Amino acid sequence: MSAADLAFSSLAVKTKSPMRIALLGGFDLMVDDVPVAVPVGSKRLLAFIALNYRASVPRSLVAGSLWPDASEHSAYTNLRAALSRLRGTARKALDVSSAEVRLARDVTVDLYHSRSLAQRLLDPGGPVEDLRLNAATVDQLSADLLPGWYDDWALLEAEHWRQLRLHALEALAGEFIDAKEFAGAVSAAHAAVQADPLRESSQASLIRAHLAEGNPSEALSDFERYAQRLRDELGLRPTQRLHRLVAELQRSRPRNGSPRS
């Protein structure tokens, strides 16, 4: 273990101020909700360790994942450099040993709060009423993971999160409809559609929210926009299941294009 690593390890102690790593919507290291400056090269290190949350990650895995095209020696050298560039408060985000790197015990990660929320929404046996669903719930599920990052490990985790949050947003829209909180239902479904405009189940959630709120014209307009986009981009048509949601509206629509009330 180098002298620099020993110095780093000795400084990786508990911080009295709440420290948080944000991965959703972009990377940030925060202390008391104030951003902490982190060198660009060290952000990748912190993000990679944060994605492993409470696990201890072997140095060999860290180095090989962050610098996959470098030789083993060069990758280890790059890892030592990334660790040494962390200064002051930022050093306290990690616990480092001669063999492993892990997140410091007091550091929280926004992804894991949002992931826990998504999993509870999707748990068929879970008491959803305990979640206190509101507009902030939609916000927690609306941000991409590390947008603009193209490392293989970041892209893989981003896709896992995208799939989980899309299912959770659709479930959330349904919960809002059941509670007759229609603005929340439309907001949750819109967030899902924005994340993947061609995903039919998200579009169905939005149409159901409009119908539950008593806005058939918006439901039909959204269906037609989706059908046009699906045809233009993929050469496909909506399934019969989606057609059935608006079939009555289409039959009752007068020739001027607006559904009868």
Write the DSSP assignment of 45-57 as a string of letters: HHHHHHHTTTS-E
Residues 6+ apart with CB under 8 A from 69: none
- Evaluate the CA torsion angle 90, 26, 121, 187 in order and state its sign: positive
Based on the structure, what is the number of domains in the chain? 2
C-alpha 241/C-alpha 238 separation (Å) is 8
Domain match, 223 and 210 both: yes
Same domain? 114 vs 98:
no
Query: What pLDDT is recorded for position 1?
Result: 46
Closest of 155, 144, 162 to residue 48, by C-alpha:
155
In the listed set 48, 80, 105, which residue is the last one of a domain according to the structure?
105
Quick: pLDDT tens for 140-193: 999 999 999 999 999 999 999 999 999 999 999 999 999 999 999 999 999 999
Same domain, 129 and 145: yes
> Do 119 and 226 fall into the same domain?
yes
Residue pair 219/246 in contact by the 8 Å Cβ criterion: yes
Q: Are residues 123 and 246 in the same domain?
A: yes
Does residue 231 belong to any structural domain of this protein?
yes
Check whether residue 26 and residue 44 sit in a common domain. Answer: yes
Residue 209 CA to residue 149 CA, distance in Å, equals: 33
Within a domain: residue 260? no
Residues 52 and 19 in one domain: yes
Assess if residue 25 is contained within a domain: yes
Q: Are residues 48 and 117 in the same domain?
A: no
Q: Express each pLDDT in 110-121 by its tens digit.
A: 999 999 999 999
Give the C-alpha separation, 149 to 27, whole Å: 10
Does residue 235 form part of some domain? yes
Say if residue 74 is in the same domain as residue 123: no
pLDDT category at 2 given cuts 50, 70, 90 is very low
Q: Is 204 found in the same domain as 87?
A: no
Same structural domain for residues 115 and 219?
A: yes
Walk across the sheet containing 19-22 and list its strands: 34-35, 28-31, 19-22, 107-109
Which residues, 6+ apart, have CB-to-CB distance to 233 below 8 Å? 198
| pTM, rounded to two decimals | 0.85
Extended beta strands in the chain, E state: 19-22, 28-31, 34-35, 57-58, 94-96, 100-103, 107-109
